[in-house]
C-alpha cells in the first residue's frame, strides 16, 4: 500500500501521560498536514509542513502539542500531559506541492484514534 500510513491506529492512555503518533506520507509528497477530528464533526486543521519546515500552526495546537518532520519524510505528533479533551481521531494527510499541479487535493491516512481515560 503506497498511501498515507499512520501508527498506532488506536491508543488508550491515562490522563497526564504523553503520547506520540507517527505519519508516513506518500513518498513523493512534500507537504504534510495534521488534522483532528471528533465524533460527528469535520476534521480541524492543526498544522502543516512543507518538507521539514513547519509553516503554519492552528491556535488549536496548544503548547502541549508538538509536531516534527525532521527529514522532510515522516512526521510525529506528540501530545504531552494528555487531557480527556484530547480524545479524538488524529488524521495525517499529504499532498504534492508543485506549481505545475495546482490542486488542493489532500490524501488522508486512516487516522490514529486517541482515548484519554
Partner 1 sequence: GESVGLHLPTLSVQEGDNSIINCAYSNSASDYFIWYKQESGKGPQFIIDIRSNMDKRQGQRVTVLLNKTVKHLSLQIAATQPGDSAVYFCAEGPILTGGGNKLTFGTGTQLKVEL
Where does this chain bind partner 1 (CB under 8 A)?
Answer: 4, 31, 33, 35, 40-45, 48, 50, 56, 91, 93, 95-99, 101-111
Closer to partner 1 by Cβ: residue 15 or 98: 98
How far is C-alpha 56 from the geometric centre of its chain's CA atoms?
13
Tell me the closest approach of the beta carbon of residue 7 to partner 1, in angstroms. 14
* Cβ-based neighbour number of residue 117 at 10 Å: 10
Closer to partner 1 by Cβ: residue 40 or 70: 40
Closer to partner 1 by Cβ: residue 63 or 99: 99
CA angle 30-33-37, nearest 5°?
160
- Which candidate, 88, 109, 114, places its Cα nearest to that of 19? 114
Amino acid at each position: 500500500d503506497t498511501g498515507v500510513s499512520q501508527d498506532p491506529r488506536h491508543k488508550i492512555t491515562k490522563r497526564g501521560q504523553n503520547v506520540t503518533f507517527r505519519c508516513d506520507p506518500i513518498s513523493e509528497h512534500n507537504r504534510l498536514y495534521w488534522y483532528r477530528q471528533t465524533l460527528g464533526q469535520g476534521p480541524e486543521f492543526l498544522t502543516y509542513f512543507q518538507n521539514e519546515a513547519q509553516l503554519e500552526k492552528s491556535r488549536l495546537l496548544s503548547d502541549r502539542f508538538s509536531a516534527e518532520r525532521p527529514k522532510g519524510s515522516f512526521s510525529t505528533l506528540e501530545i504531552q500531559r494528555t487531557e480527556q479533551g484530547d480524545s479524538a481521531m488524529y488524521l495525517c494527510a499529504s499532498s504534492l506541492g508543485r506549481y505545475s499541479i495546482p490542486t488542493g487535493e489532500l490524501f488522508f491516512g486512516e487516522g490514529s484514534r486517541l482515548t484519554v481515560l
